[in-house]
Amino acid sequence: MTMESYEPAKIGIAEIDEQHEEFFMQLSLLRVALIDGIQGQTKVNDTLHYLETFVQEHFETEERLMALHQYPYLQHHRQEHANFVQTIAAIRQRALEAGSDSSAVIAVEIEQRLGQWLLGHIATVDRMMGEFLEGKI
């Protein structure tokens, strides 16, 4: 996934679009850290930790805006976020257990599971949210 593939994913709410861009950048950094292998282990942990923190803050931003404007599909959207938080935690656990042995495998999983989830999430539920919030904020 490249930064170019992010462009069509914009939903039109500046604060959220900026965070999504940061999200994609963090995923790219994490892939690089994983591919670096043994030397990258600290970097992998740091990057995963940062990603988890960032994701929490980002989801809170969206959920705060949805709650503030009484978005009717907040619960469903919130559940999608919660599932993603669990997926990241599971991958972090596996990365910790695997050490440098499975870095390449985990890098592929990040590309496929986290990256594709994000693109899919933005294209569907975030876009719906963006259309609802447009003109309200």
Nearest to Fe ion of 109, 126 (CB atom) = 126
Nearest to Fe ion of 35, 85 (CB atom) = 85
Place of tokens 């469903």: 76
Nearest to Fe ion of 79, 93 (CB atom) = 79
What minimum distance in Å lies between the beta carbon of 129 and Fe ion? 7
**Could you give the CA distance from residue 98 to residue 20 in angstroms, rounded to a whole number?**
29
Q: Which amino acid is at 13?
A: I
Please name the residues in contact with 49: beta carbons below 8 A apart, sequence gap of 6 or more: 92
Vertex 121: Cα angle to 111 and 62 (nearest 5)? 120
Positions touching Fe ion (CB under 5 A) are 62, 126
What minimum distance in Å lies between the beta carbon of 121 and Fe ion? 6
What minimum distance in Å lies between the beta carbon of 98 and Fe ion? 29
